[in-house]
Structure 1
Amino acid sequence: MTGYDTAASADFFAASTTFFNGLVADLSADAAAMTHDQLEDLLQVRGRELLRLLLQDHLDLRAVREERALTGRRPVPADAGGVAHRMIETGHERCLASVVGPVTVRRAAFRASGRANLHPADARLNLPAGRHSHGLRKHAALEAVRGSFDDAVTAIRRCCGKVVAKRQVERLVIAAARDVEAFYEARVPLPCTAATLLVISCDGKGVPMRPEALRPATARAAAVKGGNTYRTRLAGGEKSGRKRMATVAAVYDAEPAMRRPHDVITFPGSGSGSATQNGPGRRRQGPKATGKWLTASVERSAGDVIADAFDQAAARDPEHRRRWVVLVDGDRHQLDLVGSQARRHQVDVHIVVDFIHLAEYVWKAAWSLHTPGDPAAETWVAIQLLAILSGRLEETLTELRRQARTAGLNPEQRKGIQTCVKYLTAKRDHLDYAGALAAGWPIATGIVEGACRHLVADRLNITGARWGLDGAEAVLKLRAVISNGHLEPYWAFHLQQEHHRVHQTRYQDGYQLAA
């Protein structure tokens, strides 16, 4: 490659050099009486302008170099239809909103009659289809998945200037998330030994949606309820008719960790915590999650999300050499979907119902036999839970029915016990906690429940939020990518995909992104 004269290139940075010299002069004289915070404000504003001028000067230099190169022999680009673009017009301009402010990109257009212009310089710079730079898009995505869109605009303007508006931020986030599924399809998980557990867990969380984004059944229910009863608040039960369920799934690895029932439950007052708390001392710890992978969707069905989780698990264990453990909360539809995916992948799965979820039903039974606030209820619950953990489920069911008969309960008081017995009976095939503890499996869905909180609730359920479907889906996908620790590799993949979509597909032989 022929080199360019260094002095001639330096002349193109005259504007940024002049501005820098002026800033140095001001810092040497006028700023002498400023406090340090005033100096920080000055440098933040004028420093950003200096960076913007440097970027603009560099782009101007590249434009001149391109025009000089066109005076000699050059290849003739052909579009995707094979039509050669032989006519050249220099001086075509486009605006680019960057992280340091707006700049103008000047480049040559290669033209052919009746065809859209080709701009090879755009491909070399990997410019986006719209006016916002990829750096600004990444910044907008990071801010928007952290807090509200209004807060994102404020944060962007604070460090980048007035380069984006609220509606634009939402569109940039949607565009930024478009390659998440393709990224994970192409990503190969790290292998584990055959002894390592492969754990799948799933759960759901409601997201408040705008009317047009509700699922058909929910929209019909909302229509039956009608509009807001009050002008200043929602009526009772009105919020439930305005939500769409987001499904969250987690896949992770865990080394087996054998435990005993008393490692999970201790009696109140024993000095090792309450009936459902881990206490200090000699308790054995449960299996630790590693290699955690999360996915979430409010647009796609629960079946699709669970299918993604099983696909991720299959990628980790294609030969089915590991033990697959599936943790669920006991929802019947969820169990059916898990069974369907297990058959599709032809793998044996061991389904375990979340123990914490089961404990809540035992507490319902306790309030049928104890007055509210009675300390004895906690001891009673601990006895029942220890029996279930020890493999004595049938004995527990018999005892619950016996106590319901002998306690002389009226129909209203019996509801708690009846609900508990019905639940334990329906889920008995997935309540082998004694076997799970002996094998070192996890028995609680804390991983996916935590994901429901930090992926969904912490962002999508903030006060006043009402979501469109595309925006909610994009935010969920990006929050999952960030939680998985894959933001940087995903963004590199996304930029490659953008270059292909925006530039390579326009040329007959493609147009490779420069290093």
Structure 2
Amino acid sequence: MIMTKEQAILKAKIQFNQMEASVRKAAAEGQTIDQVERDLWERLLSIGRMMLQGYVKLQGSGDVGATLKYEGRSLNRLDNLHERRYVSVFGELKISRTVYGTRETQKHEVIPLDARLGLPDSEFSYLLAEWDQSFCVQGSYEQSRRTVERILGIGQSVLSLEDMNQSMSRNVQAFRDSRPMPVAQDEGSILVLTADGKGVPMRRDPEKDAPAIHVRRKKGQKANKKRQACVGAVYTIEPFVRTAKDVVNEVMRDRRRKDRPPPQNKKMRAELTRIIDDAEVNGKDLIFSWFAKEIKARDGNNGKAVVCVMDGDRALWKMLKHHVSGDVVCILDLFHVMERLWNAAHCFYLEGGEEAKAFVSDRLERIL
């Protein structure tokens, strides 16, 4: 029995020795470094899978006896071991577990090994899910699936990645609520709020949505279906005194002052307008109600100046007025103003010319 438990680890040791021999052989034969690198990566994935399988084997099957007391009832150990698929970053494992319940055909009520190992509800490991979704938030599910398969050699379906995303999203609010508030002495004296809206293209439902438009669109027609999202950030910072000329010099020359104070305890959230409890909830409402909670928690004594920096979207400023009470210093984002100045400059001067740059610098300093 001990030999069986150790077998996977012993195989991993053999593979490690083979990997060492392969490196020495590659050096003697003058193989290129990229060939060696690819070979090492494949071998390391195989060794990792063997070691992980060995770890699972060393845990046993979770057999704690013929019966198990659970919530005032006595559950029986079922006759057969039940196998579970587990997909790790190293590859797929099969985990055999002892199950407790009333009988085979009924619900498996207690599986001690699952609890001992901390297995997720799905077949995919927490680490693999984390890596998967890190790619998914940057690109499409199909692109992410291909990238992970190319790196790890693990085939996953688009549907599994979508289900994984939805499953992880259900834990977001609990995670947010568990985060501690910043310590007062680590905070700056100014509390800054900032938000921006964005239309997110949504996949069409062939059964509910109108067909996509493939000809020139009429006035008011959209290229695709979008849903509004809102991104918000809250942080504190110390004052940074500058003249208008200082600001222009820094902005126009892309030179950041070394003595600029850094933001403290910055938090960011993004909320999509969506259906919650059979009612559509605006993402902006969620972000600005969060702003109100952050102000109350981080400026309970009203000792901080509260500043809100946003672009000219009137819907955002209306949300601020609706959700946030008290004195708030409202600032129009300078970079959105600069876009208008550059447009005006290019009406008179060539793009990229010094005249256009001087025009923007002069008007920007006047505004400030």
Does the alignment reach a TM-score above 0.5?
yes
Alignment of structure 1 residues 410-449 onto 2, 5 Å: none
Is 1:325 aligned to residue 315 of structure 2? Answer: no
* Counterpart contact for 2:76–2:101, Cα < 8 Å: yes
The one-letter code sitting in structure 2 at the alignment partner of 1:124 is R
Distance 2:254 2:92 in 1: 58
Query: How big is each residue's C-alpha offset from its partner over 1:247-281, in whole Å with a ceiling of 9 and x where there is no partner?
Result: 1111111101122222234xxxxxx58xx614779
Match of 1:110 in 2: 100
Of 204, 217, 226, which aligns to 1:211? 204
Distance 1:190-1:236 versus aligned 2 partners, 3 A rule: same
Match of 1:229 in 2: 214
The one-letter code sitting in structure 1 at the alignment partner of 2:54 is D
Alignment of structure 1 residues 285-324 onto 2, 5 Å: 288-299=262-273, 300-324=282-306
Distance 1:134-1:235 versus aligned 2 partners, 3 A rule: farther
SS of 2:200's partner is strand
Query: How big is each residue's C-alpha offset from its partner over 1:95-132, in whole Å with a ceiling of 9 and x where there is no partner?
Result: 11122111111111111268521212211212222211
Distance 1:296 1:141 in 2: 16
- The higher relative CO (CA closer than 8 Å, separation ≥ 6) is in 1
Distance 1:51 1:250 in 2: 40
Distance 1:154-1:195 versus aligned 2 partners, 3 A rule: closer
Distance 1:210-1:107 versus aligned 2 partners, 3 A rule: same
Distance 1:70-1:240 versus aligned 2 partners, 3 A rule: same
Distance 1:40 1:126 in 2: 33
* Counterpart contact for 1:95–1:102, Cα < 8 Å: yes
Distance 1:285-1:238 versus aligned 2 partners, 3 A rule: farther
Distance 1:333 1:37 in 2: 54
Is 1:259 aligned to residue 233 of structure 2? Answer: no
Distance 1:341 1:86 in 2: 56
Of 193, 214, 236, which aligns to 1:200? 193
* Counterpart contact for 2:68–2:77, Cα < 8 Å: no
Q: How many matched pairs?
A: 350
Higher normalized strand content (fraction of residues): 2
Match of 2:49 in 1: 52
Is 1:14 aligned to residue 7 of structure 2? Answer: yes
- Residue ranges of structure 1 left out of the alignment (5+ in a row): 1-7, 266-271, 390-515
* Counterpart contact for 1:108–1:119, Cα < 8 Å: yes
Distance 1:359 1:28 in 2: 62
The one-letter code sitting in structure 1 at the alignment partner of 2:43 is R
Distance 1:380 1:16 in 2: 71
Distance 1:70 1:236 in 2: 73
The TM-score normalised by the length of structure 2 is 0.78
Distance 1:376-1:11 versus aligned 2 partners, 3 A rule: closer
SS of 1:351's partner is strand
Distance 1:279 1:53 in 2: 52
* Counterpart contact for 1:83–1:112, Cα < 8 Å: no
Query: How big is each residue's C-alpha offset from its partner over 1:43-81, in whole Å with a ceiling of 9 and x where there is no partner?
Result: 3323322332333233234335x44x426xx64223xxx
Match of 2:278 in 1: none
Alignment of structure 1 residues 152-167 onto 2, 5 Å: 152-167=144-159
Cα shift at 1:333: 1.9
Distance 1:383 1:24 in 2: 70
The one-letter code sitting in structure 2 at the alignment partner of 1:206 is G
Distance 1:318 1:284 in 2: 32
Distance 2:200 2:45 in 1: 39
The TM-score normalised by the length of structure 1 is 0.58
Match of 1:244 in 2: 227
Is 1:187 aligned to residue 179 of structure 2? Answer: yes
Cα shift at 1:338: 0.5
Cα shift at 1:199: 0.4
SS of 2:121's partner is coil
RMSD: 3.8
- Residue ranges of structure 2 left out of the alignment (5+ in a row): 274-281
Distance 2:157 2:313 in 1: 42
Is 1:136 aligned to residue 128 of structure 2? Answer: yes
Distance 1:38-1:259 versus aligned 2 partners, 3 A rule: closer
Query: How big is each residue's C-alpha offset from its partner over 1:104-163, in whole Å with a ceiling of 9 and x where there is no partner?
Result: 111111112685212122112122222112222122122323444334223322443334
Match of 1:412 in 2: none
Distance 2:202 2:88 in 1: 32
Distance 1:97 1:349 in 2: 50
SS of 2:170's partner is coil
* Counterpart contact for 1:59–1:106, Cα < 8 Å: no
Query: How big is each residue's C-alpha offset from its partner over 1:372-391, in whole Å with a ceiling of 9 and x where there is no partner?
Result: 549777666655544442xx
* Counterpart contact for 2:145–2:155, Cα < 8 Å: no
SS of 2:194's partner is strand
Cα shift at 1:291: 2.2
* Counterpart contact for 2:213–2:223, Cα < 8 Å: no
Distance 1:106 1:353 in 2: 61
The share of aligned pairs that are identical, in percent, is 26
Distance 1:323 1:365 in 2: 34
Distance 1:384-1:97 versus aligned 2 partners, 3 A rule: closer
Distance 1:198 1:26 in 2: 55
Distance 2:39 2:363 in 1: 67
* Counterpart contact for 2:69–2:75, Cα < 8 Å: yes
Distance 1:200 1:24 in 2: 57
Distance 1:157-1:332 versus aligned 2 partners, 3 A rule: closer
* Counterpart contact for 2:194–2:308, Cα < 8 Å: yes
Distance 1:130 1:314 in 2: 38
